[in-house]
Amino acid sequence: MDTTLDDPLVGQTLDGRYRVDARIAAGGMATVYRAVDTRLDRVLALKVMHPALAADGAFVDRFIREAKSVARLAHPNVVAVFDQGTHGPYTYLAMEYVSGCTLRDVLRERGALQPRAALDILEPVLAALGAAHRAGFVHRDMKPENVLIGDDGRVKVADFGLVRSVDSVTNTTGSVLGTVSYLAPEQIENGVTDTRVDVYACGVVLYEMLTGSKPHTGDNPAQVLYQHLNEDVPPPSAAVPGLPVALDELVAHASARKPELRPHDAAALLGLALEARAQLSDAELDAVPPQARAGERTSAEDRTGVIPRPVTAHASNPAPLSHTSRLSAPPLPPPPSSPAPRLRRPGVLLLVVGVLLFLGLGTGVWYISSGQFTKVPNLLGKTETEARSRLSEAGLGVKRVDRKFSVSFDKGTVMDTDPPGGKRIRGNGAVTLTISRGPEVVAVPDLKGKPLDAAKAELTSAGLAPGAVTQAFSQDVAQGSVISTDPADGQKRSLDTAVSLVVSKGRPVPVPRVTGLSLDQARSALEGLGLKVEAAPEEVNSPSPAGTVANQSVGAGSQAASGDTVTLTMSKGPRQIPVPNVTGQEAGAARKTLEGLGFTVKVDKPLISFGNTIDAQSVPPGQSAAEGSTIVIRIKGL
């Protein structure tokens, strides 16, 4: 029977744009639909958060914030995020639609894969996760269901719904988000999530691709969690004899129980996977595995969910799953083939109890009477008028309105409520709205005439950032002080905006020509203008007489700032160059020869000459003359 016929969203159009055509899949946190963007006329996937979670304002706020972050992660192996929005009780993501199947579908149908096929799937998955890790994100829910294989063979990673920024991941208390079969030990035990939890999950997925079954199984999720904590993932060759050692080692590296023994992120694991592939022959890569267990049904341990975790090791009961229900625990089943005392930490014991509660294995549900209470609607991102209207429809009032700066919410929209969305309050209660004033802005201070260090300190104190510093001459601003800023003073900018500074070099000093002067003469002339003088350590040959200035580092006529240094290079006098014999040559050839050596040439042509041949030169052949000096050559005549 087509279950989509009973789905209230099928046939609806969200936000006047996305027409929902069919339900594709349902998970623990959201349902995915095939939809059509009627504005752009394209098929896409619409991921709609379950209403129970959509009522939790904090959860929705994080969902929106993280969706925006993932949307910036452009990678060919990541399912693209196009849009995000809210329509009534529905919070959704519009994503790329991948026509094909999931890796879970492939494993159900075929069981174990050939090593080449397993690596062909693993490598693009690691490339996608590596890009996410290097961008600062952790997926946290890697499993075959989240690996999409398109009809064209392209592999894409989906469902970054649990993604977290690497720098925001901490040791959390209260609950663990994820899927039991792929949780890393540190997720289970301490709630710690960093890039290495994705590496661990990929190791488990690789084992499953190579063997057709999961490394840890049990009669219930508690037993699976116990094995994650206490047993290494076995080598795949133990289940499929003949698999190469390189693949055993790759799985062992990725799924090490201690996170410090794993590759630090997916990009590092991708490097190991490529090395492992290079070690295998074509026969090993294409070896057909024996028929493994295919067609495994999706169980509770394959579903993403919130697994309660105790706050302290001595807590008497795990936290309830939500503010609307409490579940009592059944007797705790023993872990598989291991005595109960191996559960070394009380926190682990309570975690197992919490898992059983989460999976509905307990009894005794207690519901708060709904007649006296109502839920605060989710108002984040709504205008003040819309928020007041939604509260009125729910029978609630507005207690007061606060206004605060925010870079995450547009000016005039709701950025917070007290109580938060989804919280139950009495039917005639009132809610405090916090409305965004938009990004906080500050005026650029007037820094003209202030020393550079003082100007930078004032910018920082105002909440702005000192930017690029350039220099310019100024007739009225002291050297080293600010001439102007960009943006100009008085302009309003968001916090941490960089402000460029133009700093005075002082009044310009015209630099005179000092070449040909002695060092003392040149120094006196330059220092008299407020410039500093340095002599270069080596002298050079030049047309200037020996002991005079041959070159100056700041050219004559240029402008310098007071205190600038001009370096003077002293002359050793001109080079002495041997003069060749050019008699008997044509005048043009003789001129070219001498000028090529650095001489100046003058041609003496008598009134009556015989041809154009040189018969005399002013410096005899073999003698030396100063570079640049003039040599006279005479054309033969009467």
Does 245 fall in a domain?
no
141 counts as catalytic = yes
The listed range with the strongest mean pLDDT (85-89, 245-249, 608-612) is 245-249
**pLDDT at residue 365, rounded to an integer:** 27
Q: Are residues 42 and 82 in the same domain?
A: yes
Q: Are residues 64 and 47 in the same domain?
A: yes
Distance set, CA 635 to CA 416, 607, 632 (Å) = 101, 10, 10
Does 624 fall in a domain?
yes
Q: Are residues 401 and 487 in the same domain?
A: no
Range of the domain at 581: 576-637
- Return the H-helix or E-strand segment holding 229: helix 221-230
Q: pLDDT tens-digit profile of 350-394?
A: 444 344 333 333 322 222 233 356 888 989 889 999 999 999 888
Please give the model's pTM, rounded to 2 decimal places. 0.49
Residue with tokens 């794993």: 262
Q: Are residues 531 and 613 in the same domain?
A: no
> What is the identity of the amino acid at 124?
P
Supply the mean pLDDT for the chain.
82
SS3 content of the chain, % helix, strand, coil (to 5): 30, 30, 45
Does 470 fall in a domain?
yes
Per DSSP, the residues of 419-460 read SPTT-EEETT-EEEEEEE--S-EEEPP--TT-BHHHHHHHHH
Q: CATH no. for residue 458?
A: 3.30.10.20
Structure tokens at 249: 């080692």
Q: Are residues 93 and 3 in the same domain?
A: yes
Domain count, the chain: 5
Q: Are residues 79 and 32 in the same domain?
A: yes
The percentage of residues in the chain with a pLDDT greater than 70, rounded to a whole number, is 82
Q: Are residues 12 and 83 in the same domain?
A: yes
Q: Looking at 7, 61, 83, 141, which residue is catalytic?
A: 141
Q: CATH no. for residue 41?
A: 3.30.200.20
Where is the domain boundary, 436, 456, 488?
A: 436
Q: pLDDT tens-digit profile of 438-475?
A: 877 889 999 999 999 999 999 998 888 999 999 999 98
Q: Are residues 23 and 92 in the same domain?
A: yes
**201, 304 contact by CB (below 8 A):** no
Q: Are residues 520 and 492 in the same domain?
A: no
Q: pLDDT tens-digit profile of 189-198?
A: 888 789 999 9
Does 543 fall in a domain?
yes
Where is the domain boundary, 473, 504, 535?
A: 504
Where is the domain boundary, 436, 464, 486?
A: 436
Q: Are residues 543 and 455 in the same domain?
A: no
Does 150 fall in a domain?
no
Does 464 fall in a domain?
yes
Q: Are residues 36 and 16 in the same domain?
A: yes
Does 485 fall in a domain?
yes
Q: Model confidence at 562, in pLDDT bands (50, 70, 90)?
A: confident
Q: What is the mean pLDDT of residues 114-129?
A: 96
DSSP state of 139: -
Give the residue among 49, 284, 291, 309 at the shortest CA–CA distance from 175: 309
